[in-house]
Amino acid sequence: MNKTKNILRDSHGRDHTYLRISLIERCNLRCSYCMPEEGVQLSPKSHLMTYEEIYDIAKLFVKHGVTKIRLTGGEPLVRKDIPVILEKLATLPVELSITSNAVIIDKFIDILKATGVNKVNISLDSLDKDKFKHITRRDQFEKVYKNIFLLVKEGFKVKVNAVLIKGFNDNEIIDFINFTKDLPISVRFIEFMPFDGNKWDMSKMVSYKEVMDAVNASSFPTDHIERLQDAPNDTSKNYKIKGYKGSFAIISSVTNPFCDSCNRLRLTANGQLKNCLFSSTESDLLSTFRAGNAIEPVIEKAVNAKLKMRGGMDTLEKLQEPKLHNNNRSMITIGG
């Protein structure tokens, strides 16, 4: 008997077991690295996946080997049918998690628990109230800060994602690490990445090396900085300070990418499959699905076409070429 072909294995031998599904393009914050100042052209509601379509497409991915699904946005919790989506996806044999900005997450504690979502990633780029307001263009710091503590209290495994931008929040690296002293959270520093409209350039980026230089130059004794074991397919390099309840990590997508072990695919809110965060190409699953046709061939073709590194931008020189990343979506319409 012939073994069924794995449609989620690409030409480089990588098996894709992790699907990130964006539920909505809207958000209740306006972070500058995620959304252009002038906003974005939102897809008409009729072009977005319904909760039934999200479930049916996710179920098919699970059938072919996906074991983990993360819900993203925009801000996924502003979608009105989020409880139904969570309840439907919770019936699948997957690890279900969510990324949020935590502004309204306190209203969803019970449904998250009921649907087995115990891993929550929170976007927080500054521990300074004024800086938070500047980068998000909204005055919601106190709510987000309190909700992080609430999530920990309620037993959730919390990761806090901070995009570092030189001259803005790079002087908060040690403050963020100290945030893990009494909280069992993981703070993850993310290198600033190029997307349409976010005015990226290399000079604004804080690299993995620069983060560790700041850590090593701090008052932490060298033998108190522990290198932790990274999980399989992990995007981050993980550390902790001895005696601290939490940990910190660096996601170095630009200077030290983790493409060799990438197992992630992204499904946008309007049903486009992206085989790489950096890729400007997309595959239309939703139109094919709505036409009543099988989407497996579309998935297989998209996965097989995945390039080895960063959507083909395999050098820093290519990454600095605007025409190679300006055709990509804004981050808010991809899904974090």
Domain residue spans of the chain: 18-334
pLDDT score at 4: 66
Closest CA to 157 of 124, 121, 126, 110: 121
Mean pLDDT confidence for 312-336 = 58
**What is 18-334's CATH superfamily?**
Aldolase class I (3.20.20.70)
Q: Which residue has the higher pLDDT, 32 or 164?
A: 164
Q: Which residue has the higher pLDDT, 73 or 117?
A: 117
Question: Is the predicted pLDDT of residue 324 greater than 70, yes or no?
Answer: no
Query: Can you tell me which residue has the tokens 């976010």?
Result: 198
pLDDT score at 195: 54
Question: Is the predicted pLDDT of residue 326 greater than 70, yes or no?
Answer: no
Q: Give the confidence band of 199 by pLDDT, cuts at 50, 70, 90.
A: low
The answer to whether 269 and 24 have CB atoms below 8 angstroms apart is: yes
Supply the DSSP string of 235-303, one letter for each residue.
SSEEEEETT-SSEEEEE-TTTS--GGG--EEEE-TTSEEESSTT----EEHHHHHHTT--SHHHHHHHH
Distance between CA 81 and CA 51 in Å, rounded? 7
pLDDT score at 235: 87
Mean pLDDT confidence for 43-54 = 93
Question: Is the predicted pLDDT of residue 217 greater than 60, yes or no?
Answer: yes
Q: Give the confidence band of 196 by pLDDT, cuts at 50, 70, 90.
A: low
pLDDT in tens, 99-113: 999 999 999 999 999
For 78-156, list the strands marked E by DSSP: 95-100, 119-123
Question: Is the predicted pLDDT of residue 77 greater than 50, yes or no?
Answer: yes
pLDDT score at 259: 85
Average pLDDT, the chain: 88
Instruction: Give the torsion through C-alpha atoms of 9, 10, 11, 14, to 10 deg.
Output: -70
> Would you state the structure tokens that stand for residue 111, as one six-digit string?
């449904």
pLDDT in tens, 54-65: 999 999 999 999
pLDDT score at 28: 72
Question: Is the predicted pLDDT of residue 37 greater than 80, yes or no?
Answer: no
pLDDT score at 43: 80
Contacts of 335 by beta carbon, 8 Å cutoff, 6+ apart = 20, 21, 22, 72, 73, 74, 266, 267, 268, 269
Closest CA to 193 of 329, 42, 17, 30: 329
Counted residue by residue, the chain has a size of 336
Question: Is the predicted pLDDT of residue 185 greater than 90, yes or no?
Answer: yes
pLDDT in tens, 251-303: 987 877 778 889 999 999 999 999 988 787 899 999 999 999 999 999 999 99
Closest CA to 173 of 157, 158, 156, 160: 160
Q: Give the confidence band of 41 by pLDDT, cuts at 50, 70, 90.
A: low
Closest CA to 335 of 296, 282, 293, 298: 282
Mean pLDDT confidence for 228-241 = 93
> What pTM did the predictor assign?
0.89
